[in-house]
Structure 1
Amino acid sequence: MSQSHAPSLPSPRVLTQPMAMDLLGPDTAVRIDTSAGYHSRDPHALSIAFHLLGEESVVWRLDREMVLAGSLRPTGEGEVHLAPAPDGKLLLRLGAVGHRATIRCDREELARFVRDTFVLVPQGTEERHIDWRPLLDSLRR
């Protein structure tokens, strides 16, 4: 019996970039070290890791197209909202109502990072980078 061979996946590609962001409070802003990340095996998403003192990093995964759209106009629903700020920054509201954090970052820096992800995995080719074998193997059990 011959087995069909799945097409080979492109080599995984990873991007990471440290970024400084501000956690906005009612009267103050607190600088938080963060890093943006991207892995081509999860081609639709980017991650933002908030490195908190004495704690494990908190990681949010965001749709990369949504981040670009949010840098131009308010977008999002549920626990993720993005909007350009009047000062040229980008505001990210993350979390459920009553437990939201508002983060301010450099809009162009984050948009540039997202554009770099589209160089690694162009829009429309994302599905070719996903390894479906683990899911298919689990369904066959």
Structure 2
Amino acid sequence: MSTVIEQPVEARLVAAAPRMQSIPATLHYDRTDPFAVHMAFPAPATLEGVEVCWTFARDLLAAGLEGPEGSGDVRVRPYGYDRTVLEFHAPEGMAVVHVHSQDVRRFLKATDELVPVGLEHLQLDLDHDLAELMRDAI
């Protein structure tokens, strides 16, 4: 069984222009980091011309389907019935994208099948991680 889930999504970049630009993005989940999801944007879709990847809590993404969530660098909220808004805040500025809520739900369902919500802690090897920290401290 794979330990990674990747799902391409179509994101619509909200800008000052009247028509939103469609950009490709990828939602990514890895069982070895069970509390996090990643959303990557390819280099052509970014101002810097390099791939940008945001990491945030899986439960933030799930809760943001139902109502406004987040107060830090990543904020998620529903927009109508079929869209979800993700806001990414950085010192350089803010990006706002719309994605189809159905795509987000499908992605979250796949992550839940891989690692059920509430059982993420079973994926962690705390003894190994602690040993690694101690090894570096010596």
- Once residues 133 and 69 of structure 2 are traced to their aligned partners in structure 1, the CA distance between those partners, rounded to angstroms, is 36
Aligned residue in 2 for 1:109: 103
CA contact (8 A) 1:40 1:120 kept: yes
Query: Contact 1:12–1:39 (CA<8 Å) still a contact in 2?
Result: no
Percent identity of equivalent pairs: 27
Equivalent residue of 2:104, what SS? helix
| Residue 14 (1) aligns with residue 4 (2) | yes
Alignment match, 1:29: 20
Instruction: Tell me which of 134, 138, 141 is aligned to 2:133.
Output: 138
Unpaired runs of 5+ residues, structure 2, are none
By percentage of residues, which structure has more helix? Answer: 2
Q: String of CA shifts for 1:59-80, please: whole Å, max 9, x gaps.
A: 0112111111101111111111
The one-letter code matched in structure 1 to 2:134 is L
Compare CA radii of gyration and give the structure with the larger one. 1
Partner of 2:123: 129
Give the C-alpha shift of residue 49 in structure 1.
0.5
Deviating above 6 A after TM superposition, structure 1's stretches of 4 or more consecutive aligned residues are: none
Residues 46 and 62 of structure 1 are in contact (CA less than 8 Å); yes or no, is this contact kept in structure 2?
yes
Q: Which amino acid aligns with 1:67?
A: L
1:115 is paired with a residue whose SS is: helix
